Amino acid sequence: MILVRDVFQLKFGKAKEAKALVKEGARIAKKVGYGAQRHLMDLTGPYYTLVLESTHESLTAWESGMADTQGAKEWGAWYEKFKPLVESGYREIFTVVEG
């Protein structure tokens, strides 16, 4: 099993707007079969950090889910609304050893 963390540094003052959009994005992703997700916001560290965390059976399953999600017209429209809220971002992929 793998854990994928998409970490976004939001633009100053855009957290509330991003939280609302993330809920909408999660509904779209679930509809097209993307893996289970959690959404995390910073308590300490860099302000306005948003983490989208998901688990998948394998890298192949994650890649397939990403392709299905990114290929959905609804997702493209959502992403265009989300992009202006983000300053930067990166992705972390881990193998789940325990749990």
CB 48 within 8 A of CB 88: no
CATH code of residue 71 = 3.30.70.100
Q: Is the pLDDT of residue 99 over 70?
A: no
> By CB neighbour count within 10 A (0-12 exposed, 13-18 middle, 19+ buried), where does 10 fall?
buried
Q: What global pTM score does this model have?
A: 0.89
Phi/psi at 41 (5° precision): -120, 150
Identify the domain containing residue 8 by its residue range. 2-95
In the prediction, which pLDDT does 13 show? 93
Element (H, E) at 97: none
Over the stretch 37-53, which tens digit does the pLDDT of each residue have? 899 999 998 899 999 99
Q: Cβ distance 92 to 40 under 8 Å?
A: no
Q: Are 94 and 2 in contact (CB under 8 A)?
A: yes
Q: Provide the domain count of the chain.
A: 1
In which residue are the tokens 């998901």 written? 54
